[in-house]
Structure 1
Amino acid sequence: MGQKVRPTGFRIGIVEDWRSRWYAPKKEFGALLVEDFKIRKFIKEEYKQAAIEKVEIERTRDQVVVHMHSARPGIIIGRKGQEIDRLKGRLEDLTGRRMEVKIVEVTNPFRSAALVAEDIAQQLMKRGSFRRTLKRSLDQVMEAGVKGIKIQLSGRLGGAEMSRCEKVSRGSIPLSTLQRHVDYSLAVSKTAMGTIGVKVWIDLGNYGEEETGHGANAQTGEAPKRAKRSHKR
Protein backbone atom coordinates (compact mmCIF):
# COMPACT_ATOMS: atom_id res chain seq x y z
CA MET A 1 0.00 0.00 0.00
CA GLY A 2 1.15 3.54 -0.70
CA GLN A 3 2.09 5.56 2.38
CA LYS A 4 0.87 9.02 1.39
CA VAL A 5 1.19 12.17 3.52
CA ARG A 6 -0.20 15.62 2.79
CA PRO A 7 2.89 17.78 2.03
CA THR A 8 1.72 20.83 4.01
CA GLY A 9 0.78 18.76 7.07
CA PHE A 10 4.13 16.98 6.85
CA ARG A 11 5.98 20.32 7.08
CA ILE A 12 3.83 22.19 9.61
CA GLY A 13 5.73 22.91 12.80
CA ILE A 14 9.08 22.35 11.07
CA VAL A 15 9.29 24.80 8.16
CA GLU A 16 5.59 25.71 7.63
CA ASP A 17 3.60 27.92 10.01
CA TRP A 18 0.21 26.96 11.40
CA ARG A 19 -2.92 28.30 9.65
CA SER A 20 -4.56 29.01 13.03
CA ARG A 21 -2.32 30.68 15.61
CA TRP A 22 -3.80 30.87 19.10
CA TYR A 23 -3.77 29.15 22.48
CA ALA A 24 -6.81 27.99 24.49
CA PRO A 25 -7.43 25.83 27.56
CA LYS A 26 -8.71 22.31 27.00
CA LYS A 27 -12.36 23.19 27.68
CA GLU A 28 -12.46 25.97 25.06
CA PHE A 29 -10.24 24.38 22.41
CA GLY A 30 -12.98 22.40 20.61
CA ALA A 31 -15.39 25.36 20.40
CA LEU A 32 -12.70 27.65 18.98
CA LEU A 33 -11.65 25.00 16.46
CA VAL A 34 -15.26 24.73 15.20
CA GLU A 35 -15.45 28.55 15.09
CA ASP A 36 -12.33 28.67 12.86
CA PHE A 37 -13.95 26.12 10.53
CA LYS A 38 -17.15 28.21 10.31
CA ILE A 39 -15.17 31.38 9.52
CA ARG A 40 -13.24 29.67 6.70
CA LYS A 41 -16.36 28.02 5.29
CA PHE A 42 -18.31 31.30 5.33
CA ILE A 43 -15.50 33.21 3.55
CA LYS A 44 -15.01 30.50 0.91
CA GLU A 45 -18.75 30.37 0.10
CA GLU A 46 -19.33 34.14 0.09
CA TYR A 47 -16.25 35.08 -1.93
CA LYS A 48 -15.84 32.31 -4.49
CA GLN A 49 -14.90 34.85 -7.18
CA ALA A 50 -12.16 36.49 -5.05
CA ALA A 51 -9.62 33.67 -5.72
CA ILE A 52 -8.85 33.08 -2.03
CA GLU A 53 -5.73 30.97 -1.54
CA LYS A 54 -5.93 30.51 2.24
CA VAL A 55 -7.36 32.05 5.41
CA GLU A 56 -5.12 32.42 8.47
CA ILE A 57 -6.61 33.15 11.89
CA GLU A 58 -4.93 34.72 14.93
CA ARG A 59 -6.64 35.22 18.29
CA THR A 60 -5.92 37.45 21.27
CA ARG A 61 -7.89 37.66 24.49
CA ASP A 62 -10.61 39.90 23.05
CA GLN A 63 -10.05 39.97 19.27
CA VAL A 64 -9.88 37.70 16.21
CA VAL A 65 -7.60 38.71 13.30
CA VAL A 66 -8.39 37.07 9.93
CA HIS A 67 -5.70 37.20 7.22
CA MET A 68 -7.20 36.55 3.78
CA HIS A 69 -4.73 35.73 0.99
CA SER A 70 -6.47 36.63 -2.27
CA ALA A 71 -5.50 37.11 -5.93
CA ARG A 72 -8.41 39.58 -6.36
CA PRO A 73 -8.40 41.77 -3.23
CA GLY A 74 -10.56 44.43 -4.90
CA ILE A 75 -13.61 42.13 -4.75
CA ILE A 76 -13.21 41.74 -0.96
CA ILE A 77 -12.37 45.38 -0.22
CA GLY A 78 -15.11 46.84 -2.44
CA ARG A 79 -15.66 50.49 -3.31
CA LYS A 80 -14.18 52.75 -0.60
CA GLY A 81 -13.80 49.71 1.66
CA GLN A 82 -17.56 49.16 2.01
CA GLU A 83 -17.44 45.42 1.27
CA ILE A 84 -14.72 44.68 3.82
CA ASP A 85 -16.69 46.56 6.49
CA ARG A 86 -19.75 44.47 5.64
CA LEU A 87 -17.67 41.28 5.85
CA LYS A 88 -16.31 42.34 9.22
CA GLY A 89 -19.84 42.94 10.53
CA ARG A 90 -21.13 39.58 9.26
CA LEU A 91 -18.19 37.73 10.83
CA GLU A 92 -18.86 39.50 14.14
CA ASP A 93 -22.51 38.38 13.94
CA LEU A 94 -21.37 34.82 13.14
CA THR A 95 -18.88 34.52 16.01
CA GLY A 96 -20.02 37.12 18.53
CA ARG A 97 -16.43 38.40 18.80
CA ARG A 98 -14.58 41.56 17.78
CA MET A 99 -13.08 40.93 14.34
CA GLU A 100 -10.30 42.47 12.28
CA VAL A 101 -9.87 41.55 8.60
CA LYS A 102 -6.56 41.96 6.76
CA ILE A 103 -6.11 41.32 3.04
CA VAL A 104 -2.83 39.98 1.62
CA GLU A 105 -2.56 40.09 -2.17
CA VAL A 106 -1.34 37.00 -4.06
CA THR A 107 0.55 38.55 -6.97
CA ASN A 108 0.99 35.35 -9.03
CA PRO A 109 -1.94 32.89 -8.78
CA PHE A 110 -0.09 30.29 -10.90
CA ARG A 111 2.37 29.75 -8.02
CA SER A 112 -0.48 28.74 -5.68
CA ALA A 113 -1.67 25.11 -5.67
CA ALA A 114 -5.07 26.11 -4.24
CA LEU A 115 -5.80 28.63 -7.00
CA VAL A 116 -4.54 26.31 -9.77
CA ALA A 117 -6.71 23.46 -8.45
CA GLU A 118 -9.79 25.74 -8.26
CA ASP A 119 -9.17 26.94 -11.82
CA ILE A 120 -8.97 23.35 -13.13
CA ALA A 121 -12.14 22.41 -11.22
CA GLN A 122 -14.04 25.36 -12.75
CA GLN A 123 -12.87 24.47 -16.26
CA LEU A 124 -14.11 20.88 -15.79
CA MET A 125 -17.48 22.17 -14.54
CA LYS A 126 -17.77 24.16 -17.77
CA ARG A 127 -17.38 20.85 -19.66
CA GLY A 128 -13.90 21.65 -20.92
CA SER A 129 -11.70 18.84 -22.19
CA PHE A 130 -9.71 17.53 -19.24
CA ARG A 131 -6.61 16.82 -21.36
CA ARG A 132 -6.57 20.33 -22.79
CA THR A 133 -7.17 21.78 -19.33
CA LEU A 134 -4.28 19.79 -17.86
CA LYS A 135 -1.86 20.85 -20.61
CA ARG A 136 -2.83 24.52 -20.29
CA SER A 137 -2.38 24.44 -16.51
CA LEU A 138 1.03 22.75 -16.78
CA ASP A 139 2.24 25.38 -19.26
CA GLN A 140 0.96 28.33 -17.20
CA VAL A 141 2.43 27.09 -13.92
CA MET A 142 5.86 26.22 -15.38
CA GLU A 143 6.00 29.67 -17.03
CA ALA A 144 5.55 31.19 -13.55
CA GLY A 145 9.07 29.98 -12.68
CA VAL A 146 8.35 27.01 -10.40
CA LYS A 147 10.61 23.93 -10.12
CA GLY A 148 7.87 21.39 -10.89
CA ILE A 149 4.17 20.53 -10.84
CA LYS A 150 2.06 17.40 -10.55
CA ILE A 151 -1.71 17.21 -11.18
CA GLN A 152 -3.99 14.25 -10.46
CA LEU A 153 -7.63 13.94 -11.57
CA SER A 154 -9.94 11.21 -10.24
CA GLY A 155 -13.48 10.48 -11.40
CA ARG A 156 -15.53 9.92 -14.55
CA LEU A 157 -13.14 11.80 -16.80
CA GLY A 158 -14.59 12.77 -20.16
CA GLY A 159 -17.94 11.20 -19.19
CA ALA A 160 -16.52 7.66 -19.14
CA GLU A 161 -18.64 4.82 -17.73
CA MET A 162 -15.99 3.87 -15.16
CA SER A 163 -14.07 6.31 -13.01
CA ARG A 164 -10.30 6.39 -13.30
CA CYS A 165 -7.24 8.32 -12.18
CA GLU A 166 -5.14 10.46 -14.52
CA LYS A 167 -1.73 11.92 -13.50
CA VAL A 168 0.51 14.41 -15.30
CA SER A 169 3.70 16.06 -14.08
CA ARG A 170 6.60 18.26 -15.11
CA GLY A 171 9.83 19.04 -13.31
CA SER A 172 10.64 17.85 -9.79
CA ILE A 173 8.33 17.17 -6.83
CA PRO A 174 10.61 16.04 -3.92
CA LEU A 175 7.91 15.21 -1.35
CA SER A 176 10.29 13.87 1.33
CA THR A 177 12.68 16.86 1.34
CA LEU A 178 11.47 19.01 4.24
CA GLN A 179 13.52 22.04 3.17
CA ARG A 180 11.68 22.05 -0.16
CA HIS A 181 8.56 24.22 -0.34
CA VAL A 182 5.97 21.91 -1.91
CA ASP A 183 2.54 23.56 -2.05
CA TYR A 184 -0.45 21.18 -2.19
CA SER A 185 -4.20 21.58 -2.55
CA LEU A 186 -7.35 19.58 -3.26
CA ALA A 187 -10.41 20.89 -5.12
CA VAL A 188 -13.70 19.22 -6.05
CA SER A 189 -15.41 19.70 -9.41
CA LYS A 190 -19.13 18.81 -9.41
CA THR A 191 -19.91 18.01 -13.04
CA ALA A 192 -23.07 16.63 -14.67
CA MET A 193 -21.38 13.22 -14.94
CA GLY A 194 -20.35 13.12 -11.29
CA THR A 195 -17.73 14.46 -8.90
CA ILE A 196 -14.11 14.82 -10.02
CA GLY A 197 -11.31 15.31 -7.51
CA VAL A 198 -8.43 17.61 -8.45
CA LYS A 199 -5.09 17.38 -6.60
CA VAL A 200 -2.20 19.75 -7.32
CA TRP A 201 1.41 19.70 -6.07
CA ILE A 202 3.73 22.65 -6.91
CA ASP A 203 7.46 22.73 -6.09
CA LEU A 204 8.40 26.36 -5.32
CA GLY A 205 12.06 25.64 -4.48
CA ASN A 206 13.84 25.73 -1.13
CA TYR A 207 12.39 27.79 1.73
CA GLY A 208 13.82 31.28 1.77
CA GLU A 209 15.12 30.96 -1.80
CA GLU A 210 11.89 30.71 -3.77
CA GLU A 211 10.33 33.76 -5.40
CA THR A 212 7.35 34.77 -3.31
CA GLY A 213 3.92 34.89 -4.94
CA HIS A 214 2.56 37.18 -2.24
CA GLY A 215 2.64 40.95 -2.49
CA ALA A 216 2.17 43.74 0.00
CA ASN A 217 -0.75 43.95 2.35
CA ALA A 218 -3.59 45.34 0.22
CA GLN A 219 -4.79 47.61 3.04
CA THR A 220 -1.59 48.83 4.71
CA GLY A 221 0.90 48.47 1.85
CA GLU A 222 3.27 46.55 4.14
CA ALA A 223 5.01 43.42 2.92
CA PRO A 224 3.77 40.27 4.72
CA LYS A 225 6.12 39.17 7.48
CA ARG A 226 7.68 35.73 7.20
CA ALA A 227 9.22 34.17 10.26
CA LYS A 228 12.80 32.97 9.96
CA ARG A 229 13.28 29.33 10.77
CA SER A 230 16.23 27.01 10.74
CA HIS A 231 16.04 23.28 10.28
CA LYS A 232 18.87 21.41 11.98
CA ARG A 233 19.70 17.92 10.93
Structure 2
Amino acid sequence: MGQKVRPTGFRVGVMENWRSRWYAPKREYGDLLAEDFKIRKYVSEKYQFAEIAKVEIERTRDQVIIHLFTARPGVIIGRKGQEVDRLKGDLEELTGRRMDLKIVEIGNANRNAKLVADKIAQQLSKRGSFRRAIKKTLDEVMSSGVYGVKIEMSGRLGGAEMSRKEKASRGSIPLSTLRRHVDYGLSEAKTPQGVIGVKVWIDLGDYSDEETADGTNAKAGQASKKPKKTYKR
Protein backbone atom coordinates (compact mmCIF):
# COMPACT_ATOMS: atom_id res chain seq x y z
CA MET A 1 0.00 0.00 0.00
CA GLY A 2 1.33 3.43 -0.91
CA GLN A 3 2.13 5.84 1.91
CA LYS A 4 1.30 9.33 0.67
CA VAL A 5 1.82 12.60 2.53
CA ARG A 6 0.63 16.07 1.57
CA PRO A 7 3.84 17.91 0.47
CA THR A 8 3.01 21.16 2.26
CA GLY A 9 2.12 19.36 5.50
CA PHE A 10 5.32 17.32 5.24
CA ARG A 11 7.35 20.56 5.25
CA VAL A 12 5.43 22.45 7.93
CA GLY A 13 7.69 23.20 10.89
CA VAL A 14 10.79 22.46 8.80
CA MET A 15 10.63 24.74 5.76
CA GLU A 16 7.02 25.96 5.70
CA ASN A 17 5.25 28.13 8.25
CA TRP A 18 1.97 27.17 9.92
CA ARG A 19 -1.26 28.38 8.29
CA SER A 20 -2.72 29.21 11.72
CA ARG A 21 -0.39 30.89 14.22
CA TRP A 22 -1.71 31.22 17.76
CA TYR A 23 -1.59 29.66 21.21
CA ALA A 24 -4.54 28.74 23.42
CA PRO A 25 -5.24 26.80 26.61
CA LYS A 26 -6.59 23.30 26.24
CA ARG A 27 -10.21 24.22 27.03
CA GLU A 28 -10.28 26.88 24.25
CA TYR A 29 -8.24 25.09 21.60
CA GLY A 30 -11.11 23.17 20.00
CA ASP A 31 -13.35 26.24 19.73
CA LEU A 32 -10.64 28.34 18.11
CA LEU A 33 -9.79 25.55 15.69
CA ALA A 34 -13.45 25.30 14.64
CA GLU A 35 -13.54 29.09 14.30
CA ASP A 36 -10.56 29.02 11.93
CA PHE A 37 -12.37 26.42 9.83
CA LYS A 38 -15.50 28.60 9.69
CA ILE A 39 -13.48 31.64 8.60
CA ARG A 40 -11.73 29.75 5.78
CA LYS A 41 -14.98 28.15 4.62
CA TYR A 42 -16.85 31.46 4.59
CA VAL A 43 -14.12 33.28 2.64
CA SER A 44 -13.66 30.48 0.08
CA GLU A 45 -17.41 30.14 -0.57
CA LYS A 46 -18.18 33.86 -0.80
CA TYR A 47 -15.13 34.72 -2.95
CA GLN A 48 -14.79 31.71 -5.23
CA PHE A 49 -14.19 34.06 -8.17
CA ALA A 50 -11.39 36.00 -6.41
CA GLU A 51 -8.75 33.26 -6.89
CA ILE A 52 -7.83 32.91 -3.21
CA ALA A 53 -4.92 30.48 -2.82
CA LYS A 54 -4.72 30.29 0.96
CA VAL A 55 -5.88 31.98 4.16
CA GLU A 56 -3.43 32.43 7.04
CA ILE A 57 -4.73 33.33 10.50
CA GLU A 58 -2.88 34.96 13.39
CA ARG A 59 -4.42 35.66 16.79
CA THR A 60 -3.43 38.16 19.45
CA ARG A 61 -5.07 38.83 22.78
CA ASP A 62 -7.73 41.17 21.38
CA GLN A 63 -7.92 40.64 17.60
CA VAL A 64 -7.64 38.19 14.70
CA ILE A 65 -5.32 39.00 11.77
CA ILE A 66 -6.28 37.30 8.49
CA HIS A 67 -3.89 37.17 5.51
CA LEU A 68 -5.66 36.54 2.19
CA PHE A 69 -3.34 35.40 -0.61
CA THR A 70 -5.11 36.17 -3.87
CA ALA A 71 -4.32 36.71 -7.54
CA ARG A 72 -7.15 39.28 -7.84
CA PRO A 73 -6.81 41.69 -4.91
CA GLY A 74 -8.99 44.32 -6.59
CA VAL A 75 -12.02 42.03 -6.42
CA ILE A 76 -11.72 41.66 -2.64
CA ILE A 77 -10.84 45.31 -1.98
CA GLY A 78 -13.67 46.66 -4.12
CA ARG A 79 -14.32 50.26 -5.04
CA LYS A 80 -12.76 52.57 -2.45
CA GLY A 81 -12.35 49.58 -0.13
CA GLN A 82 -16.07 48.99 0.28
CA GLU A 83 -15.92 45.25 -0.38
CA VAL A 84 -13.12 44.57 2.10
CA ASP A 85 -14.95 46.60 4.76
CA ARG A 86 -18.05 44.49 4.15
CA LEU A 87 -16.02 41.27 4.45
CA LYS A 88 -14.43 42.53 7.66
CA GLY A 89 -17.85 43.28 9.13
CA ASP A 90 -19.23 39.87 8.10
CA LEU A 91 -16.32 38.05 9.73
CA GLU A 92 -16.65 40.10 12.92
CA GLU A 93 -20.34 39.21 13.02
CA LEU A 94 -19.53 35.54 12.36
CA THR A 95 -16.93 35.21 15.10
CA GLY A 96 -17.71 38.05 17.51
CA ARG A 97 -14.05 39.16 17.43
CA ARG A 98 -12.21 42.22 16.12
CA MET A 99 -10.75 41.51 12.68
CA ASP A 100 -7.81 42.90 10.73
CA LEU A 101 -7.53 41.93 7.05
CA LYS A 102 -4.31 41.95 5.06
CA ILE A 103 -4.53 41.15 1.36
CA VAL A 104 -1.38 39.73 -0.26
CA GLU A 105 -1.16 39.72 -4.05
CA ILE A 106 0.10 36.61 -5.86
CA GLY A 107 2.19 37.67 -8.82
CA ASN A 108 1.72 34.67 -11.14
CA ALA A 109 -1.29 32.38 -10.73
CA ASN A 110 0.34 29.67 -12.88
CA ARG A 111 2.96 29.14 -10.15
CA ASN A 112 0.40 28.40 -7.44
CA ALA A 113 -0.86 24.81 -7.27
CA LYS A 114 -4.18 25.66 -5.63
CA LEU A 115 -5.08 28.25 -8.27
CA VAL A 116 -4.04 25.90 -11.08
CA ALA A 117 -6.23 23.12 -9.63
CA ASP A 118 -9.19 25.51 -9.31
CA LYS A 119 -8.73 26.59 -12.93
CA ILE A 120 -8.81 22.98 -14.16
CA ALA A 121 -11.87 22.25 -12.01
CA GLN A 122 -13.71 25.20 -13.55
CA GLN A 123 -13.00 23.88 -17.05
CA LEU A 124 -14.29 20.43 -16.11
CA SER A 125 -17.43 21.93 -14.53
CA LYS A 126 -18.13 23.65 -17.86
CA ARG A 127 -17.94 20.24 -19.60
CA GLY A 128 -14.54 20.87 -21.12
CA SER A 129 -12.33 18.01 -22.31
CA PHE A 130 -10.13 16.77 -19.46
CA ARG A 131 -7.30 15.78 -21.84
CA ARG A 132 -7.27 19.23 -23.41
CA ALA A 133 -7.35 20.84 -19.95
CA ILE A 134 -4.38 18.76 -18.78
CA LYS A 135 -2.25 19.46 -21.85
CA LYS A 136 -3.00 23.20 -21.88
CA THR A 137 -2.31 23.54 -18.15
CA LEU A 138 0.99 21.67 -18.35
CA ASP A 139 2.19 24.02 -21.10
CA GLU A 140 1.09 27.15 -19.22
CA VAL A 141 2.64 26.11 -15.91
CA MET A 142 5.97 25.04 -17.42
CA SER A 143 6.18 28.29 -19.41
CA SER A 144 5.99 30.24 -16.12
CA GLY A 145 9.47 29.01 -15.19
CA VAL A 146 8.86 26.15 -12.74
CA TYR A 147 10.98 22.99 -12.55
CA GLY A 148 8.16 20.48 -12.80
CA VAL A 149 4.43 19.92 -12.57
CA LYS A 150 2.19 16.89 -12.03
CA ILE A 151 -1.59 16.73 -12.47
CA GLU A 152 -3.87 13.92 -11.33
CA MET A 153 -7.63 13.64 -11.89
CA SER A 154 -9.97 11.07 -10.40
CA GLY A 155 -13.66 10.47 -11.08
CA ARG A 156 -16.05 9.80 -13.94
CA LEU A 157 -13.86 11.50 -16.51
CA GLY A 158 -15.61 12.31 -19.77
CA GLY A 159 -18.91 11.04 -18.34
CA ALA A 160 -17.72 7.41 -18.24
CA GLU A 161 -19.75 4.89 -16.27
CA MET A 162 -16.78 3.85 -14.11
CA SER A 163 -14.45 6.24 -12.35
CA ARG A 164 -10.74 6.17 -13.10
CA LYS A 165 -7.54 8.14 -12.64
CA GLU A 166 -5.56 10.10 -15.18
CA LYS A 167 -2.05 11.40 -14.51
CA ALA A 168 0.31 13.63 -16.47
CA SER A 169 3.58 15.28 -15.52
CA ARG A 170 6.44 17.38 -16.86
CA GLY A 171 9.84 17.93 -15.30
CA SER A 172 10.78 16.83 -11.78
CA ILE A 173 8.65 16.52 -8.63
CA PRO A 174 11.03 15.58 -5.74
CA LEU A 175 8.41 15.00 -3.04
CA SER A 176 10.82 13.68 -0.40
CA THR A 177 13.44 16.43 -0.73
CA LEU A 178 12.60 18.84 2.07
CA ARG A 179 14.73 21.69 0.73
CA ARG A 180 12.65 21.74 -2.48
CA HIS A 181 9.53 23.90 -2.47
CA VAL A 182 6.85 21.57 -3.82
CA ASP A 183 3.50 23.35 -3.83
CA TYR A 184 0.33 21.26 -3.67
CA GLY A 185 -3.27 22.10 -4.50
CA LEU A 186 -6.56 20.18 -4.38
CA SER A 187 -9.86 21.15 -5.96
CA GLU A 188 -13.16 19.49 -6.86
CA ALA A 189 -15.19 19.85 -10.04
CA LYS A 190 -18.91 19.26 -9.65
CA THR A 191 -20.33 17.77 -12.86
CA PRO A 192 -23.72 16.20 -13.69
CA GLN A 193 -22.07 12.76 -13.54
CA GLY A 194 -20.50 13.35 -10.12
CA VAL A 195 -17.52 14.99 -8.43
CA ILE A 196 -14.08 14.93 -10.08
CA GLY A 197 -11.05 15.50 -7.86
CA VAL A 198 -8.09 17.47 -9.21
CA LYS A 199 -4.63 17.38 -7.60
CA VAL A 200 -1.68 19.51 -8.69
CA TRP A 201 1.98 19.40 -7.62
CA ILE A 202 4.39 22.15 -8.70
CA ASP A 203 8.16 22.17 -8.08
CA LEU A 204 9.20 25.80 -7.49
CA GLY A 205 12.87 25.06 -6.79
CA ASP A 206 14.95 25.31 -3.62
CA TYR A 207 13.69 27.47 -0.78
CA SER A 208 17.10 29.15 -0.65
CA ASP A 209 16.68 30.39 -4.24
CA GLU A 210 13.36 32.11 -3.62
CA GLU A 211 13.13 35.85 -3.22
CA THR A 212 9.53 36.06 -2.03
CA ALA A 213 7.56 34.11 0.56
CA ASP A 214 4.90 32.89 -1.89
CA GLY A 215 7.41 31.26 -4.25
CA THR A 216 6.83 33.56 -7.23
CA ASN A 217 10.58 33.89 -7.93
CA ALA A 218 11.75 30.33 -7.44
CA LYS A 219 13.69 29.81 -10.65
CA ALA A 220 16.83 31.75 -11.47
CA GLY A 221 16.33 33.96 -14.49
CA GLN A 222 12.61 34.25 -13.80
CA ALA A 223 13.10 36.31 -10.64
CA SER A 224 11.46 39.68 -10.39
CA LYS A 225 12.94 42.45 -8.26
CA LYS A 226 9.50 43.77 -7.33
CA PRO A 227 8.43 42.91 -3.77
CA LYS A 228 5.03 41.34 -3.29
CA LYS A 229 2.26 43.81 -2.54
CA THR A 230 0.35 43.76 0.71
CA TYR A 231 -2.84 45.71 1.22
CA LYS A 232 -3.88 46.46 4.80
CA ARG A 233 -7.38 47.33 5.85
TM normalised by structure 1 equals 0.92
- Does 2:23 correspond to 1:26? no
Aligned to 1:140: 140
Q: Secondary structure at the match of 1:208?
A: helix
Whole-angstrom CA distance in 1 between matches of 2:156 and 2:193:
7
CA shift digits 1:194-220 (9 cap, x unpaired):
110000000000003136328533425
User: Per the alignment, in what secondary structure is the counterpart of residue 231 of structure 2?
Assistant: coil
Measure, in 1, the Cα distance between the counterparts of 2:35 and 2:123. Answer: 32
In 2: Cα distance, 1:135 partner to 1:13 partner: 34
**1:219 — aligned with what?**
231
Q: Distance in 1 between matches of 2:99 and 2:5?
A: 34
Q: Percent of counterpart pairs with the same letter?
A: 69
Aligned pair count reads 220
Give the Å deviation of 1:161. 1.2
Q: State the partner residue of 1:190.
A: 190
Asked if 1:150 is matched to 2:162, the reply is no
Partner AA of 2:231 in structure 1: Q
Structure 1 counterpart SS, 2:14: coil
Aligned to 1:110: 110
Deviates further, 205-214 or 130-139: 205-214
Partner of 2:220: none
Q: What residue identity is the alignment partner of 1:21? A: R
2:27 aligned counterpart, secondary structure: helix
User: In structure 1, how many angstroms separate the alpha carbons of the residues matched to 2:29 and 2:46?
Assistant: 26
Gaps of 5+ in 2: 218-226
For residue 181 of structure 1, give the secondary structure of its aligned residue in structure 2: strand
Q: Residue in 2 aligned with 1:61? A: 61
1:175 paired residue number:
175
Compare 114-123 and 204-213 and name the one that shifted more.
204-213
131-140 or 208-217, which moves further after superposition?
208-217
CA distance in 1, matches of 2:208, 2:81: 33
Once the two structures are TM-superposed, the CA of residue 16 in structure 1 deviates from its matched residue by 0.4
Separation in structure 2 between the aligned mates of residue 157 and residue 9 of structure 1, nearest angstrom? 28
SS for the counterpart of 2:121 is helix
Per-residue Cα deviation, 1:29-52 (whole angstroms, up to 9, x for no partner): 000000000000000011011000
Deviations 1:92-143 (A, max 9, x none): 0000000000000001000000000000000000000000000000000000
User: When the two structures are superposed, what TM-score results if normalisation uses the length of structure 2?
Assistant: 0.92
Q: Distance in 2 between matches of 1:39 and 1:217?
A: 23
Amino acid paired to 2:73: P
Conserved 8 A contact 1:172-1:203 = yes
| Contact 1:102–1:217 (Cα < 8 Å) also in 2 | no
What residue identity is the alignment partner of 2:162? Answer: M
Q: Report the Cα distance in structure 2 between the residues aligned to 1:208 and 1:45, rounded to whole angstroms.
A: 35
SS, match of residue 168 in structure 1: strand
| Secondary structure of the structure 2 residue equivalent to 1:216 | coil
Tell me, in whole angstroms, the C-alpha distance in 1 between the residues paired with 2:172 and 2:50. 30
Q: How many Å apart are 1:22 and its aligned residue?
A: 0.4
* Cα distance in 1 for residues equivalent to 2:71 and 2:88: 19
Q: CA RMSD in A?
A: 1.1
Which whole-Å CA distance do the structure 1 matches of 2:14 and 2:231 have between them?
A: 30
Residues 133-162 of structure 1 show CA distances to partners (whole Å, capped at 9, x for unaligned) of 000000000000000000000001111111
Runs of 4+ residues deviating >6 angstroms = none
Amino acid at match of 1:217: K
